[in-house]
Amino acid sequence: MSEAEWAVCEPLLPAPAWLAGRGGRPASRCMRDIVDAIRYLTHNGPVWRALPADFPPAGTVYWWADKWQAGGCTEQMHDDLRGRIRLAAGRKAAPTAAIIDSQSVKGSEMIARTRRGYDAGKKVNGTKRHLVVDTIGLLLTVLVTAASVQDRDAAKPLLWNLRRAFPSIKQAWADGGYAGKLVTWASTCLHLRLQIVKRPDDLHTFKVLPRRWVVERTLAWITRHRRTVRDYERLPAHHETYIYWAMIIVMTCRLARPPPREFSSRLSRSSSGRRAPPSLPWKRPTMTASSCARADTVGSWTPSSSGGLCAKAPTRTWQPTFCSASWGRTCTPR
């Protein structure tokens, strides 16, 4: 996680009790290391005990991940990031329209028989995750069921959770699998207009269908993280949490991304008549060892008067010091 991403995530973490004077002691681990470990587990998908030694112990990371899930902190962090992205895109924080879809994924040996099923249409033995996204593809709510559950049956509790969390939504789009009595039920009970976007019967080639491609792109964002390619969790709530973490990674990267530089649309022509490449607004500094002078302090480097950078990373002595921003102990170079 880069410094810009950590600057986005740090204010959203729950504050510990001891900072508010409610007792307790400072955490023994840096919160940035905990978040880094959870993101690493979500993106790369190893087992808990296979976490690299650079991270805190697996039991500590699991304890914090389970605590944030039980307290609703993970979902709250996800909702705050979604609101910031919507405001940055020139939209209101509360969405007014949504798209619904589902995806069947294979289940590992950790999935019990009571929560796994067989999707005959997709020929998948595992679970099914039902998603609701807004018009720009950001996740609103998710529900994990057995793969044998029909989309129309799982859509009722999913839309009920959507109405309870987002009363401002009045319009929703779905595919042909949600047609039938669900449209009438949503209009009567939830006052929600559910519009079915059907695929043409005479269509034999690939075609981007309106509105439906948005949720398909969100599913692609989620499946880029290896922990969500299959359902490895014993409880459905844990799989939902990793889906939220996958979207947190996507949104933090988007918020931490620097604004694009504007280049001139016209290329300047040289005297010979050929187009010259556009000049970059910055120039990479020359990295030479001669431009650096080593100070007397162990592990510190000072640049010379020429303003160059170090060509070799210095050797640093790490000492644990108290970090008020991370609410615990962190490693800072001395």
Domain range holding 110?
94-200+208-229
| Average pLDDT taken over every residue of the chain | 80
Please check whether residue 40 lies inside any domain of the structure. Answer: no
pLDDT of residue 91: 92
Per the CB < 8 A criterion, the answer to whether 246 and 225 are in contact is yes
| pTM (two decimals) | 0.76
pLDDT of residue 187: 92
Of 124, 75, 139, give the one whose Cα is nearest residue 231: 124
Cβ within 8 Å of residue 27, ≥6 positions away? 16, 326, 327, 328, 329
Please check whether residue 76 lies inside any domain of the structure. Answer: no
Most confident of 177-186, 241-250, 289-298, 305-314: 241-250
pLDDT of residue 327: 53
CATH of the domain at 112: 3.30.420.10
Domain count of the chain?
1
Of 301, 305, 308, give the one whose Cα is nearest residue 333: 301
Please check whether residue 39 lies inside any domain of the structure. Answer: no
- Average pLDDT of the residues in 286-301: 39
Q: Sort 140 into a burial class: Cβ within 10 Å, 0-12 / 13-18 / 19+.
A: buried
Please check whether residue 189 lies inside any domain of the structure. Answer: yes
Rounded to whole angstroms, the Cα distance separating 84 from 99 reads: 20
Please check whether residue 105 lies inside any domain of the structure. Answer: yes
Please check whether residue 15 lies inside any domain of the structure. Answer: no
Please check whether residue 59 lies inside any domain of the structure. Answer: no
Please check whether residue 220 lies inside any domain of the structure. Answer: yes
